[in-house]
Amino acid sequence: MKKFLKICLLLVFILSLASCSSQNTNDTAKKETTETKENTNKIEVKKDKEEDKKFPERKGTLTAQVDLSKYDKGKTAKLWLPIPQDNDYQKISNVKVDLDEAHAQQKETTDEHGNKMLYVEWDKEATDRKVTLSFDAERKEITRGELKGTENPQYDKELEEFLQPNSMMPLDGKVKETADQITKGKKTDLDKVKAIYNWTIANMNRDESVIGCGQGEVEKLLENPQGKCTDIHSVFIALCRASGIPAREIFGIRMSKKPSDDITKSQHCWSEFYLKENGWVKADPGDVLKAVLKQKLDKNSDETKKLQDYFWGGMDSLRVALTTGRDLELNPKQDDKPLNNFGYPYAEINGKALDFYNPSDFVYKIKFEEAK
């Protein structure tokens, strides 16, 4: 009997140890799971902080690599790449070009709008049609100063081109009618353009289904007010010009917040309007509307109003200005039709433009490397 009791007590002891071990294992597993969740949360917070990081200045190297080698020998191949230039807020240096010069000629040219570009032409014997263009860019954040406006200012003759219509931006009919409604009762150009800026944000929306940056056909956009940056800014600029205020689009590309990144699809455009007392002033209703869509903001929310105020005369440092102008004839002149804008690389094979939205036709990549 005593022996039986000893055996029972031993079994109880063994089961107790197993239970404790199991509990410890479960507690350890729970602890590990909790720690994993905490670590994951820490990573996510770190990622969010990186995305929210501000850059009063941004410096780096941008490298564009183009390869037209897929086209058969015997075809004429031509390429135009935009080259940015210095201005008050950006500095460009160390421009370099690398290509096989045995069957290619290259030169830097400027068009009638002042846009600078690299032109490359390969002869019909070329099979290697690769070219690399790189440059260093330094960009400063722009903060709005005091803006001033007067009634009926007289602008210099050199600003006349920024008051003209183009194939995408008529300034009569529906465009003029809309501009007059928006600016009714406004006396100064400053008051008028501010009303147009606010109207653009209130009435337009970003549409992610649009290819690239959009085409900017203003009459169609007034009927269906949604698109991407070229669409939004074309409306803003057309309404400014129809109101007698010089305005223009700047086509460029964004530098990444990451130390190294593929920015092939980071093209962006923004607006500038001219005030006699201030000169060219920046505006980016497109980025306001992008934030509204991406962050699911209400247009009347405090977050939207802050962005709306920031991009009225202010601008971040994460962008490199490349070109301006519409209906462009490049230098040397392209064989195909005038270019709607020059924010992307442009190439022709046997005189026919390649679709720069289609990587199977037009192979190129743009990289960003942060300055060390």
In this predicted structure, what is the pLDDT of residue 361?
87
Q: Is residue 6 part of a domain?
A: no
- Residues 346-371 pLDDT 10s: 999 999 999 999 888 899 999 999 99
261 vs 52, residue with greater confidence: 261
Q: Are residues 134 and 208 in the same domain?
A: no
Mean pLDDT of 164-174: 98
Q: Are residues 301 and 252 in the same domain?
A: yes
- Of 315, 339, 356, which residue sits at a domain end? 315
Contact predicate 100/128, CB 8 Å: yes
In this predicted structure, what is the pLDDT of residue 150?
83
Q: Is residue 323 part of a domain?
A: no
Q: Are residues 163 and 303 in the same domain?
A: yes
In this predicted structure, what is the pLDDT of residue 359?
81
* Distances, alpha carbon 11 to alpha carbons 8, 15, 18, in Å: 5, 6, 11
Q: Are residues 179 and 310 in the same domain?
A: yes
Q: Are residues 107 and 199 in the same domain?
A: no
- Strand-pair partners of 99: 131
In this predicted structure, what is the pLDDT of residue 51?
59
Looking at every residue in the chain, the average pLDDT score rounds to 89
Q: What is the rounded distance in angstroms from the CA atom of residue 342 to the CA atom of residue 364?
A: 15
Q: Are residues 65 and 109 in the same domain?
A: yes
Q: Is residue 165 part of a domain?
A: yes
334, 353, 356: which is closest to 345 by C-alpha?
356
Q: Are residues 179 and 291 in the same domain?
A: yes
Q: Are residues 359 and 301 in the same domain?
A: no
Q: Are residues 341 and 254 in the same domain?
A: no
Burial of 24 from C-beta contacts in 10 A (0-12 / 13-18 / 19+): exposed
Domain holding 280: CATH number?
Answer: 3.10.620.30
Q: What is the rounded distance in angstroms from the CA atom of residue 123 to the CA atom of residue 78?
A: 9
Q: Are residues 233 and 293 in the same domain?
A: yes
In this predicted structure, what is the pLDDT of residue 149?
86
What is the model's pTM?
A: 0.85
Q: Is residue 30 part of a domain?
A: no
pLDDT at 14 over 70: no
| Domains held by the chain: number | 2
Q: What is the dihedral of CA 159, 189, 139, 117, to 10 degrees?
A: -30
Ranges 105-119, 139-153, 200-214, 264-278: which has the least confidence:
139-153
Q: Is residue 266 part of a domain?
A: yes
Pairing of strands 205-206, 226-227: parallel
186, 176, 166: which is closest to 340 by C-alpha?
166
In this predicted structure, what is the pLDDT of residue 371?
96
Q: Is residue 7 part of a domain?
A: no
Q: Is residue 162 part of a domain?
A: yes
Mean pLDDT of 173-182: 98
Domain holding 84: CATH number?
Answer: 2.60.40.2250
- Residues ≥6 apart with Cβ < 8 Å to 126: 73, 77, 100, 103, 104
Q: Are residues 311 and 336 in the same domain?
A: no
Contact predicate 78/119, CB 8 Å: yes
Q: Are residues 167 and 308 in the same domain?
A: yes
Q: Is residue 35 part of a domain?
A: no
Ranges 35-39, 111-115, 219-223: which has the least confidence:
35-39
In this predicted structure, what is the pLDDT of residue 50?
55
| % of the chain exceeding 70 in pLDDT | 86
**Domain around 73:** 57-140+328-370
